[in-house]
Amino acid sequence: MSNSTSAAGAPAATVRRSPTPAICVRHRGRDRFDIETRGHVVTVDQPQDAGGEDVGPTPTELFVASVAACVAFYARRYLARHHIDPTGLSVRASWHTAAKPPRVDEIEISIDVPADLPATRRDALLAVASHCTVHNSLTTPPRVEITLADTGGPQYQDQPVGRHPEPT
């Protein structure tokens, strides 16, 4: 737990959740990488015209897909809380990139809602879906620290992915 100061000047506590499962990204040849977490593996690559083998989505596609999937998850949970059948729920995403620095500059998300969603529930569903964890992480960005690790050699290359050690 870390401390900060509230708008009134009094100390305010920031609650930190326990560490999430580790994610390990392993190079598998050319532009192909396997992302491993909790026993799952997702392969990312580049399209053939960009030098890859196109055996999986690009990291950028996966990034945008994470936002869309999170929105879909929150929307489905909202529907379940209000006993609304989620049949027909889908989420589509598109994005625009910028060059300097290279990044996703704009993401457009469209939620296809079930036909029996009452009009009185539409705004609330949109509000809930718009505050999913991934979207919140973009609007209030996390601190990202990138370091070089001393892995001690090749014996660490194929170790299973576990959990981060507990904070001290």
Dump pLDDT digits (tens) for 49-61: 999 999 999 999 9
Whether the predicted pLDDT of 154 surpasses 80: no
Q: Which two tokens stand for residue 149?
A: 């690790």
Whether the predicted pLDDT of 127 surpasses 50: yes
The pLDDT value recorded for residue 20 is: 76
pLDDT (mean) for 35-43: 96
Contact by Cβ (8 Å): 52, 44? no
The pLDDT value recorded for residue 143 is: 95
Whether the predicted pLDDT of 107 surpasses 80: yes
Number of H helices, E strands in the chain: 3, 7
Contact by Cβ (8 Å): 42, 34? yes
Written as one letter, the residue type at 23 is I
pTM: 0.78
Residue with tokens 């690559």: 45
Residue with tokens 């000047």: 9
62: confidence class by pLDDT, cuts 50, 70, 90 = very high
Helix, strand and coil in the chain, % to nearest 5 = 30, 25, 45
158: confidence class by pLDDT, cuts 50, 70, 90 = low
Whether the predicted pLDDT of 81 surpasses 80: yes
